[in-house]
Structure 1
Amino acid sequence: MSVMRTAMALGVGLIAMGLLGQGPALAAGAAASAGHMVSSGVPDGQDDSAVPSTVPSMTDTGPADDTITAAQPVLPMAPLTITSSAPANRHGRTAAQMHHFKVELALTERQQEVGEMWRRSIPPQGGMLFIWKKPQHTAMWMRNTLVPLDILFIGRDRRIKGIEEKAVPMSQAIISNPGESMAVLELPAGTAARANLRVGDLVDCNALPPAQNPVPAGMELSGQ
């Protein structure tokens, strides 16, 4: 997958639609596993109907994703935990469940540009975390990505805002999520279903910025 700015192909096949008219938005997370992320670069007030659903990766500052023909080396890694609530038991109580991963960190433009392109496998508890410089509207595709993925959009409060399960390898279909994301987490396909991950689950990783507008303590499992 590839991340792009207005003129930069990153690595995760995302199209970062974010913050139109406010300059190119770096879709950091998109470049990793899911395909191709770009800033749409359409000024406010301009008709964007002519913008193609798949954006050519011609760049001024880096190689187009079509020229990336090999996977990048394994990136620096960090532990990541997703905390979710189990289904209520017969007493109507829920219990927190913690799911542990060790993920690669796509932090630089080049790392995000290449992302998980051409990777032939991802460890069961592995994945890649893309962190944007600031929250933004995000979309992506699976161009040059050989393995199916579960794609999780993470909000500024560190909670999951959307999940795309079993994204299809090499597809150029656009994958997006309403609202702004602070990061995108890519996991092996099937992980979300197996771990019962849901919108609202809390993502914890030291590489993420501090949570903004966090849910007050004691309300995490109440759905409030």
Structure 2
Amino acid sequence: MHPMKKSLALAAAVLAFAAFAQEPQMNLPRVKLRAGMHVIDAQVAATNEQRMTGLMFRQEMPQHEGMLFVFEQPSQQCFWMKNTLLPLAIAFVADDGTIVNLDEMQPQTTDSHCSTKPVRYVLEMNKGWFAKRGIKAGAKLEGPPFK
């Protein structure tokens, strides 16, 4: 292949990937979780690629929905909001479903929000979701991942 054609083909591939990468994840597997009497319909981000994209590029999210990030083993988890358009609340969750700590995150920032202890699960909801329902650190989430 001619070097110029090769360069154009590479540029086209990069642009196609960039366009694809800016699509929000809408079709991940889902799991029902409970926080007291509140039911959460959570998309599950379990692969590296799914976790890296998370809720980036989403324009909106229904109040009862969220995203549960599942890691292979407990460790300190840190999240930021680059390319995330929605303000979010984040819960760092132990294996038994206990919320270790909570934080609120502003859209399109690179501030780090980290778990205070090693955790395997992280749940993102719309900003204020936990506070509006009186859910604090120490509260327990219920659902299949925490059995």
Map residues 114-133 of structure 1 onto 2, 5 A cutoff.
114-133=53-72
TM-score by length of 2: 0.82
Q: Per-residue displacement from partner, 1:87-142 (whole Å, max 9, x unpaired)?
A: xxxxxxxxxxx211111111222222221110001111000001111111111110
Q: Per-residue displacement from partner, 1:43-65 (whole Å, max 9, x unpaired)?
A: xxxxxxxxxxxxxxxxxxxx9xx
Give the letter aligned to residue 201 of structure 1: A
Map residues 143-158 of structure 1 onto 2, 5 A cutoff.
143-158=82-97
Contact 2:89 2:129 in 1 (8 A): yes
Kindly indicate whether residue 16 of structure 2 is the aligned counterpart of residue 78 of structure 1.
Answer: no
> What 5-or-longer segments of structure 1 have no aligned partner?
1-62, 84-97, 211-224
Greater share of helix = 2
Question: How many residue pairs end up in the alignment?
Answer: 130
> What 5-or-longer segments of structure 2 have no aligned partner?
1-13
Map residues 29-48 of structure 1 onto 2, 5 A cutoff.
none
Query: Which aligned runs of 4 or more in structure 1 are off by greater than 3 angstroms?
Result: none
CA distance in 2, matches of 1:139, 1:73: 23
CA distance in 2, matches of 1:125, 1:69: 24
CA distance in 1, matches of 2:35, 2:47: 24
- Residue from 126, 141, 163 that aligns with 2:80: 141
TM-score by length of 1: 0.55
- Residue from 90, 94, 99 that aligns with 1:160: 99
Identity of aligned residues (%): 29
Greater share of strand = 2
CA distance in 1, matches of 2:120, 2:78: 12
- Residue from 198, 202, 221 that aligns with 2:136: 198
